[in-house]
Amino acid sequence: MFILDEQIAYNSGEGLAIANIIELKDVRKVYRVGNEKVVALDSINLTIEEGAFCCFLGTSGSGKSTLLNLMAGLEKPTKGQIVIKGSRIERMSEQELALFRQKHVGFIFQSFNLLPALNAVENVCLPLTFRGVSKEIREARARKMLKDVGLETHYRHRPSQMSGGQQQRVGIARAFIGKPGIVFADEPTGNLDSKTTMEVMKLITGIARQNGQTLILVTHDLGIARYADRVIHILDGNIEKIEENSGNVGVNQ
Protein backbone atom coordinates (compact mmCIF):
# COMPACT_ATOMS: atom_id res chain seq x y z
CA MET A 1 0.00 0.00 0.00
CA PHE A 2 1.24 3.45 -0.72
CA ILE A 3 0.34 6.78 0.77
CA LEU A 4 -0.35 9.40 -1.77
CA ASP A 5 0.24 13.01 -1.01
CA GLU A 6 -3.22 14.47 -1.15
CA GLN A 7 -2.20 17.98 -2.15
CA ILE A 8 -0.10 16.78 -5.04
CA ALA A 9 -2.86 14.48 -6.19
CA TYR A 10 -5.31 17.30 -6.23
CA ASN A 11 -3.31 20.20 -7.63
CA SER A 12 -1.09 17.98 -9.79
CA GLY A 13 0.71 21.10 -11.08
CA GLU A 14 0.86 19.95 -14.68
CA GLY A 15 -2.94 19.91 -14.75
CA LEU A 16 -2.82 23.66 -15.10
CA ALA A 17 -0.37 23.48 -17.96
CA ILE A 18 -2.57 21.17 -19.99
CA ALA A 19 -5.57 23.26 -20.85
CA ASN A 20 -7.51 20.34 -22.26
CA ILE A 21 -8.09 17.78 -19.57
CA ILE A 22 -9.97 15.49 -21.96
CA GLU A 23 -9.31 15.00 -25.67
CA LEU A 24 -11.20 12.54 -27.84
CA LYS A 25 -9.96 11.91 -31.35
CA ASP A 26 -12.11 10.01 -33.80
CA VAL A 27 -13.44 7.72 -31.10
CA ARG A 28 -15.58 4.85 -32.30
CA LYS A 29 -17.26 2.08 -30.35
CA VAL A 30 -18.91 -0.89 -31.98
CA TYR A 31 -20.58 -3.66 -30.03
CA ARG A 32 -21.02 -7.06 -31.47
CA VAL A 33 -24.27 -8.72 -30.51
CA GLY A 34 -24.30 -12.18 -32.03
CA ASN A 35 -23.56 -11.57 -35.69
CA GLU A 36 -24.86 -8.04 -35.67
CA LYS A 37 -22.79 -4.95 -35.11
CA VAL A 38 -24.20 -2.16 -33.00
CA VAL A 39 -22.48 1.15 -33.56
CA ALA A 40 -22.82 2.82 -30.15
CA LEU A 41 -20.44 5.66 -31.03
CA ASP A 42 -19.65 6.52 -34.60
CA SER A 43 -16.89 9.12 -34.64
CA ILE A 44 -16.46 11.45 -31.70
CA ASN A 45 -14.03 14.38 -31.68
CA LEU A 46 -14.14 16.50 -28.58
CA THR A 47 -11.96 18.48 -26.19
CA ILE A 48 -12.91 19.52 -22.69
CA GLU A 49 -10.83 22.01 -20.76
CA GLU A 50 -9.99 21.75 -17.10
CA GLY A 51 -12.63 22.93 -14.68
CA ALA A 52 -15.47 22.82 -17.19
CA PHE A 53 -18.91 21.45 -16.46
CA CYS A 54 -20.09 19.52 -19.50
CA CYS A 55 -23.41 17.88 -19.92
CA PHE A 56 -24.12 15.14 -22.47
CA LEU A 57 -27.72 15.25 -23.56
CA GLY A 58 -29.49 12.80 -25.80
CA THR A 59 -32.27 10.31 -26.21
CA SER A 60 -32.13 6.81 -24.83
CA GLY A 61 -29.71 4.60 -26.72
CA SER A 62 -27.88 7.52 -28.32
CA GLY A 63 -24.55 6.46 -26.77
CA LYS A 64 -24.15 8.86 -23.82
CA SER A 65 -23.28 6.22 -21.23
CA THR A 66 -20.93 4.51 -23.63
CA LEU A 67 -19.05 7.74 -24.15
CA LEU A 68 -18.83 8.40 -20.41
CA ASN A 69 -17.55 4.89 -19.73
CA LEU A 70 -14.90 5.28 -22.41
CA MET A 71 -13.71 8.55 -20.86
CA ALA A 72 -13.61 6.95 -17.40
CA GLY A 73 -11.49 4.12 -18.75
CA LEU A 74 -14.11 1.51 -17.94
CA GLU A 75 -14.17 0.39 -21.54
CA LYS A 76 -11.85 0.52 -24.54
CA PRO A 77 -12.81 2.21 -27.79
CA THR A 78 -12.92 0.15 -30.97
CA LYS A 79 -10.95 2.92 -32.63
CA GLY A 80 -9.54 6.35 -31.80
CA GLN A 81 -7.63 8.06 -29.04
CA ILE A 82 -8.72 9.09 -25.57
CA VAL A 83 -6.26 11.43 -23.90
CA ILE A 84 -6.93 12.38 -20.31
CA LYS A 85 -4.49 14.54 -18.38
CA GLY A 86 -2.01 13.89 -21.16
CA SER A 87 -2.24 10.09 -20.93
CA ARG A 88 -3.58 7.76 -23.59
CA ILE A 89 -5.90 5.81 -21.36
CA GLU A 90 -7.12 3.47 -24.07
CA ARG A 91 -3.64 1.98 -24.05
CA MET A 92 -3.43 1.45 -20.32
CA SER A 93 -3.49 -1.95 -18.66
CA GLU A 94 -6.16 -2.73 -16.14
CA GLN A 95 -3.68 -2.20 -13.33
CA GLU A 96 -2.65 1.20 -14.67
CA LEU A 97 -6.29 2.16 -15.14
CA ALA A 98 -7.04 1.29 -11.51
CA LEU A 99 -4.23 3.59 -10.41
CA PHE A 100 -5.39 6.27 -12.83
CA ARG A 101 -8.92 6.14 -11.47
CA GLN A 102 -7.65 6.26 -7.93
CA LYS A 103 -5.79 9.46 -8.63
CA HIS A 104 -7.91 11.37 -11.09
CA VAL A 105 -11.47 10.11 -11.32
CA GLY A 106 -14.57 10.34 -9.17
CA PHE A 107 -17.80 8.57 -10.07
CA ILE A 108 -21.44 9.23 -9.22
CA PHE A 109 -23.94 6.52 -10.19
CA GLN A 110 -27.60 6.71 -11.06
CA SER A 111 -28.40 3.88 -8.67
CA PHE A 112 -26.04 5.17 -5.96
CA ASN A 113 -24.15 1.85 -5.70
CA LEU A 114 -23.21 2.15 -2.06
CA LEU A 115 -21.83 -1.03 -0.50
CA PRO A 116 -24.66 -2.39 1.63
CA ALA A 117 -22.36 -3.85 4.31
CA LEU A 118 -20.72 -0.52 5.06
CA ASN A 119 -22.08 2.53 6.85
CA ALA A 120 -22.02 6.05 5.40
CA VAL A 121 -18.56 6.96 6.69
CA GLU A 122 -17.03 3.67 5.48
CA ASN A 123 -18.65 4.05 2.08
CA VAL A 124 -17.30 7.57 1.67
CA CYS A 125 -13.88 6.33 2.77
CA LEU A 126 -13.58 3.68 0.04
CA PRO A 127 -11.56 5.62 -2.56
CA LEU A 128 -9.07 6.63 0.13
CA THR A 129 -8.96 3.05 1.41
CA PHE A 130 -7.82 1.92 -2.02
CA ARG A 131 -5.16 4.62 -1.99
CA GLY A 132 -3.86 3.29 1.30
CA VAL A 133 -4.68 6.32 3.40
CA SER A 134 -4.64 5.54 7.12
CA LYS A 135 -7.92 4.88 8.84
CA GLU A 136 -7.98 7.93 11.14
CA ILE A 137 -7.20 10.35 8.33
CA ARG A 138 -9.69 8.91 5.88
CA GLU A 139 -12.49 8.69 8.42
CA ALA A 140 -11.92 12.28 9.53
CA ARG A 141 -12.04 13.34 5.89
CA ALA A 142 -15.15 11.27 5.31
CA ARG A 143 -16.96 12.88 8.24
CA LYS A 144 -16.05 16.31 6.91
CA MET A 145 -17.35 15.41 3.47
CA LEU A 146 -20.58 14.03 4.89
CA LYS A 147 -21.03 17.23 6.87
CA ASP A 148 -20.54 19.25 3.69
CA VAL A 149 -23.35 17.33 2.00
CA GLY A 150 -25.56 17.78 5.06
CA LEU A 151 -25.45 14.27 6.50
CA GLU A 152 -23.69 14.91 9.81
CA THR A 153 -26.47 13.01 11.57
CA HIS A 154 -26.12 9.89 9.41
CA TYR A 155 -22.47 8.80 9.83
CA ARG A 156 -23.35 5.34 11.09
CA HIS A 157 -26.33 4.68 8.88
CA ARG A 158 -26.20 1.88 6.36
CA PRO A 159 -27.52 2.46 2.83
CA SER A 160 -30.68 0.50 3.58
CA GLN A 161 -31.42 2.93 6.40
CA MET A 162 -31.29 6.04 4.18
CA SER A 163 -33.56 7.62 1.58
CA GLY A 164 -32.56 7.80 -2.06
CA GLY A 165 -31.57 11.43 -1.76
CA GLN A 166 -29.47 10.72 1.30
CA GLN A 167 -27.83 7.78 -0.42
CA GLN A 168 -26.95 9.96 -3.39
CA ARG A 169 -25.42 12.56 -1.06
CA VAL A 170 -23.24 9.80 0.34
CA GLY A 171 -22.41 8.89 -3.26
CA ILE A 172 -21.45 12.50 -3.95
CA ALA A 173 -19.27 12.68 -0.84
CA ARG A 174 -17.59 9.47 -1.98
CA ALA A 175 -16.97 10.83 -5.48
CA PHE A 176 -15.37 14.03 -4.22
CA ILE A 177 -13.44 12.79 -1.17
CA GLY A 178 -10.30 11.98 -3.12
CA LYS A 179 -10.34 15.46 -4.74
CA PRO A 180 -10.18 13.94 -8.23
CA GLY A 181 -9.54 16.15 -11.24
CA ILE A 182 -12.59 14.81 -13.04
CA VAL A 183 -15.94 13.66 -11.70
CA PHE A 184 -18.18 11.57 -13.93
CA ALA A 185 -21.88 11.29 -13.23
CA ASP A 186 -24.22 9.08 -15.25
CA GLU A 187 -27.75 10.34 -14.68
CA PRO A 188 -27.10 11.03 -11.00
CA THR A 189 -30.63 12.22 -10.44
CA GLY A 190 -32.36 9.60 -12.53
CA ASN A 191 -33.80 7.92 -9.44
CA LEU A 192 -34.73 11.06 -7.53
CA ASP A 193 -37.78 13.30 -7.42
CA SER A 194 -37.59 16.80 -8.82
CA LYS A 195 -37.09 18.58 -5.49
CA THR A 196 -34.25 16.28 -4.45
CA THR A 197 -32.85 16.50 -7.97
CA MET A 198 -32.39 20.26 -7.56
CA GLU A 199 -30.69 19.87 -4.17
CA VAL A 200 -28.36 17.16 -5.43
CA MET A 201 -27.46 19.12 -8.56
CA LYS A 202 -26.68 22.19 -6.50
CA LEU A 203 -24.42 20.11 -4.27
CA ILE A 204 -22.52 18.53 -7.16
CA THR A 205 -22.00 21.71 -9.11
CA GLY A 206 -21.19 23.66 -5.93
CA ILE A 207 -18.39 21.36 -4.83
CA ALA A 208 -16.99 20.94 -8.35
CA ARG A 209 -16.91 24.70 -8.97
CA GLN A 210 -15.44 25.43 -5.57
CA ASN A 211 -12.53 23.07 -6.24
CA GLY A 212 -12.20 23.80 -9.94
CA GLN A 213 -12.93 20.19 -10.81
CA THR A 214 -14.03 19.08 -14.22
CA LEU A 215 -17.55 17.67 -14.14
CA ILE A 216 -18.91 15.40 -16.86
CA LEU A 217 -22.59 14.65 -16.52
CA VAL A 218 -24.94 12.49 -18.57
CA THR A 219 -28.66 13.20 -18.65
CA HIS A 220 -31.70 13.32 -20.85
CA ASP A 221 -33.27 15.99 -18.66
CA LEU A 222 -33.13 19.48 -20.21
CA GLY A 223 -33.67 21.04 -16.77
CA ILE A 224 -30.45 19.60 -15.53
CA ALA A 225 -28.58 20.52 -18.66
CA ARG A 226 -29.26 24.12 -17.78
CA TYR A 227 -26.71 23.95 -14.93
CA ALA A 228 -23.88 23.12 -17.30
CA ASP A 229 -21.34 25.42 -18.98
CA ARG A 230 -21.66 23.43 -22.13
CA VAL A 231 -24.28 21.05 -23.38
CA ILE A 232 -23.18 18.41 -25.88
CA HIS A 233 -26.07 16.89 -27.79
CA ILE A 234 -25.55 13.28 -28.80
CA LEU A 235 -27.56 11.64 -31.53
CA ASP A 236 -27.05 8.09 -32.80
CA GLY A 237 -23.45 7.90 -31.71
CA ASN A 238 -22.40 11.29 -33.02
CA ILE A 239 -22.16 14.79 -31.62
CA GLU A 240 -25.15 16.62 -33.01
CA LYS A 241 -24.30 20.07 -31.66
CA ILE A 242 -22.53 21.81 -28.79
CA GLU A 243 -24.23 24.62 -26.90
CA GLU A 244 -22.23 27.04 -24.80
CA ASN A 245 -24.16 28.28 -21.81
CA SER A 246 -22.59 31.71 -21.44
CA GLY A 247 -24.53 32.56 -18.34
CA ASN A 248 -22.86 29.80 -16.44
CA VAL A 249 -19.40 30.22 -17.88
CA GLY A 250 -19.24 33.50 -16.03
CA VAL A 251 -20.15 31.78 -12.77
CA ASN A 252 -17.43 29.26 -13.40
CA GLN A 253 -14.66 31.84 -13.55
End-to-end CA distance of the chain: 38
- 195: Cα separation from own chain's centroid: 22
The option from Mg ion, ligand ATP, other proteins, none interacting with 4 (CB < 5 to 8 A, set by class) reads none
**Cα–Cα dist 116/221, whole Å:** 29
Per-residue x/- mask for ligand ATP, residues 7 to 36, rule CB under 6 A?
Answer: ------------------------x-x---
- Contact assessment for residue 72 and residue 214, using Cβ atoms and an 8 Å cutoff: no
User: How many residues form the binding site for ligand ATP (CB under 6 A)?
Assistant: 13
One of 3, 8, 19, 98 touching other proteins (CB under 8 A): 98
**Ramachandran area for residue 100 (φ above 0: left; ψ -120 to 50: alpha; else beta):** alpha
Is residue 211 close enough to count as binding other proteins by CB under 8 A? Answer: no
**From Mg ion, ligand ATP, other proteins, none, interface partner of 220 (C-beta below 5 to 8 A by class):** ligand ATP
In whole angstroms, give the CA distance from residue 200 to residue 206.
10
Least CB distance to ligand ATP at residue 41 (A) = 8
> Any contact of residue 232 with ligand ATP (CB under 6 A)?
no
Partner that binds at residue 31, options ligand ATP, Mg ion, other proteins, none, CB closer than 5 to 8 Å by kind = ligand ATP
40 lies in the site for ligand ATP, by CB under 6 A: yes
Which of Mg ion, ligand ATP, other proteins, none does 130 bind, CB closer than 5 to 8 A by kind?
other proteins
Nearest-angstrom CA–CA distance, 145 and 139: 10
- Our CB check for other proteins shows the closer of 99 and 249 to be 99
61 binds ligand ATP (CB under 6 A): yes
Residue 224 is which amino acid? I
3-state class of 179 per DSSP?
Answer: coil
CB burial class (10 A; 0-12, 13-18, 19+) of residue 53? buried
Q: Give the CA distances from residue 177 to residues 52, 141, 200, in Å, rounded to whole numbers and listed in that order.
A: 19, 7, 16
Whether 41 contacts 56, CB under 8 Å: no
d(CA 197, CA 200): 5
Residue closer to Mg ion (CB basis): 53 or 109: 109
Q: Residues 83, 92, 99, 235: which binds other proteins (CB under 8 A)?
A: 99
Give the residues lining the site for other proteins (CB under 8 A).
69, 72, 74-75, 94-95, 98-99, 101-103, 105, 107, 109-111, 113, 115-118, 122, 126-127, 129-131, 174, 178, 186
Give the residues lining the site for ligand ATP (CB under 6 A).
31, 33, 38, 40, 58, 60-66, 220
